[in-house]
Amino acid sequence: MPGIPAQILILDDDADVAYAAKLLLRRAGQVATLADPAQVPRYLQQNTPDVVLLDFNFTPGRADGAEGLKVLEQLQALPRAPAVIAMTAYADVPLAVAAMKCGACDFITKPWDNARLAAAVDAALARRAAPASTTPAATAALLGNSVAMRELRAAIGIVGPTGANVMVLGENGVGKELVARGIHLASRRAAAGFLAVDMGSLPESMLESELFGHRKGAFTDARSDRPGRFQSASGGTLFLDEIGNLALPAQSKLLTALERREVTPLGADRPQTIDVRIISATNLDEARLYDAQVFRPDLLFRLNTIVIRVPPLRERPGDIPGLLEHYLNLYQSQYGRPERAISPAAFDALCAHAWPGNVRALRHACERAVILAESDLYGIADFGLHTAEPVAAPVTATALKLDALERDAVAASLEQAQGNISHAARLLGISRAALYRKLEKHGL
Ligand SMILES: Nc1ncnc2c1ncn2[C@@H]1O[C@H](COP(=O)(O)OP(=O)(O)OP(=O)(O)O)[C@@H](O)[C@H]1O
């Protein structure tokens, strides 16, 4: 509310940590500090915090986070629950992830990056103050009326104009790129371009030339000067997709570019200043993303000033009917097919399905149903889900064998790539889109 300063509570037994955070956050509101969870009930009798920065271990020697989780529970039970930002040591990231599952909105690792902490608190405060819907144009493509999707749209409206670097997290096919495009459209850079780069499919040997450009003659195939993605996206937004797949040496090159705000094309003797907003995305599990063996913490701090998490479709089943309707309509008109309704049994099955491939898989299933349906209503078999009855079609023994071989090859490459779609596609020598189709076909 205008005029009323936000209340921020820092709960940490380390006096130095609490004091440093207090100094940093003074400009964002009224800051109180407490050192002991036992003081919390009394504080809550007289105060209504908007944001709580919460440490998880207080008693010396304790590292299970139970004390912090108990406070989180108390805060969640309040009529106007504050936004809670978990604060943990780097080694305790799994604890922070557990806290997020219990309702914390974000987490910060200690020692923190000042800009990241300030941005996390600003984002938490802005989210509380935001009206239910913002910048419809920026989020028009993002369908779904679940609470999660409404919050996501509000977050895009808030984060977009800030210009801060954003990291979008979520499983494959949840809509991370749509979110990134929404942030771009809600930003002051909307009139300039949005350029997406699939970092997962960039071979390491090409990374520098692709990202930073090259001069004619810099290497055998460099027949002319070529700008890199950083230069091409100048003034706009560069979307670094599958950032979690970047090898460590490549991470350090990217870090240098971001730190210096300049890139040197291969073969050039002078760097060029860059002006891009970076939005990155990954499907990497957060515990792995925060593992320094996998991802450089200093690069992470550059990229994740704001973190946006897109929940999987199975956690927002209320969005499924609207998405089915949208994509069936889309493909019916695209393929000039008649309008059909979904049979009640198929509808129930589709709503109960876990959708491991998320919205992308649902979209493909709708396309398939529109193409294959023959009766008056869409039946579950038309959608080709692995839980459905197999479509009765004559198949020869050879086709069956080839199919089984293909399934095994896809499964083996996925295992070898530890579930990383880009890597698996590269192992198989096919595009990511083709791999998605095969995953769906074989119900993997
Ligand atoms: N909320 C949504 N409303 C409508 N369509 C959506 C939504 N979320 C995702 N989609 C559609 O699902 C497909 C996958 O979305 P997108 O590419 O943004 O996902 P992603 O998380 O970036 O996937 P990946 O991790 O595999 O790159 C796209 O066709 C997109 O249009």
Summarize pLDDT for 112-138 with one digit per residue, the tens.
888 888 888 888 887 666 544 445 667
**Higher model confidence: residue 253 or residue 401?**
253
Could you tell me if 210 and 242 lie in one domain?
A: yes
Looking up residue 326, the CATH number of its domain turns out to be: 1.10.8.60
Q: Do 279 and 350 have their domain in common?
A: no
Q: How confident is the model at residue 402 (pLDDT cuts 50, 70, 90)?
A: low
Q: Which residue has the higher pLDDT, 187 or 440?
A: 187
CA–CA separation, 393 vs 411, rounded Å?
24
Q: Please give the structure tokens belonging to residue 392.
A: 């009765």
Same domain, 295 and 166: yes
Residue nearest to atom 25 of ligand 1 (CA): 172
Choose one of 177, 181, 362 to mutate for the ligand 1 pocket test, by most ligand atoms within 8 angstroms of C-beta: 177
Please check whether residues 263 and 277 belong to one and the same domain: yes
ipTM of this predicted structure: 0.98
Find the CATH number of the domain harbouring 153: 3.40.50.300
Q: Do 192 and 297 lie in a common domain?
A: yes
The residue from 311, 332, 351 where one domain ends is: 311
Cα 438–439–444 angle (5° rounding)?
A: 145
Q: Is residue 304 part of a domain?
A: yes
In angstroms, the CA 104 to CA 84 distance is: 5
- pLDDT score recorded for residue 388: 40
Tell me the C-alpha distance between 367 and 85, whole Å. Answer: 41
Distance CA 6, CA 129 (A): 10
For 260-326, where are the E strands, in sequence order? 262-263, 272-273, 277-282, 306-309
Q: Answer yes or no: do 105 and 189 share one domain.
A: no
Give the mean pLDDT of 132-161. Answer: 80
Domain holding 436: CATH number?
1.10.10
As a whole number, the mean pLDDT across the chain is: 85
Which structural domain range is residue 233 located in? 136-311
CB 222, CB 267: distance < 8 Å: yes
Q: Compare 369 and 138 and report the one with higher pLDDT.
A: 369
Give yes or no: residues 123 and 48 share one domain.
yes
Q: Is the dihedral of CA 89, 93, 94, 100 positive or negative?
A: positive
Query: Which letter, b or e, does each residue of 405-435 get, where b requires 16 or more Cβ atoms within 10 Å of its Cβ?
Result: eebeebeebbeebeebbbbbbbbbebebeeb
Q: Are residues 243 and 362 in the same domain?
A: no
How far is Cα 365 from Cα 367, in angstroms, rounded to an integer?
Answer: 5
pLDDT > 70? residue 109? yes
Does some domain include residue 48?
Answer: yes
- Give the residues surrounding ligand 1 with Cβ less than 6 Å away: 142-144, 170, 172-178, 241, 281, 283, 359-360, 363
> 240 or 94: whose pLDDT is higher?
240
pLDDT tops 90 at residue 176: yes
Q: Which atom of ligand 1 is nearest to the CA of 436?
A: 26
Same domain, 143 and 88: no
pLDDT the model gives residue 184: 93
Residue 177: inside a domain = yes
User: Does residue 179 form part of some domain?
Assistant: yes
Quick one: 11 and 116 in the same domain?
A: yes
Answer yes or no: is pLDDT of 202 > 90: no
In whole angstroms, give the CA distance from residue 324 to residue 342. 9
Q: What domain count does the chain have?
A: 4
Mutate to test the pocket of ligand 1, among 147, 176, 178 (most ligand atoms within 8 A of CB): 178
368 close to 384: Cβ distance less than 8 angstroms: yes
Q: Give the global pTM.
A: 0.68
In this structure, are residues 264 and 271 in contact, taking their beta carbons and an 8 Å threshold?
Answer: yes
Q: What is the DSSP letter of 266?
A: B
What is the structure's pLDDT at 97?
A: 73
Residue 1 lies in a domain: no
- Dihedral angle, C-alpha 217, 240, 235, 218, nearest 10 °: -10
Residues 402 and 432 in one domain: yes
Pair 140, 99 in one domain: no
Q: Ligand 1 centroid to 69 CA: how many Å? A: 33
Mean pLDDT of 32-45: 93
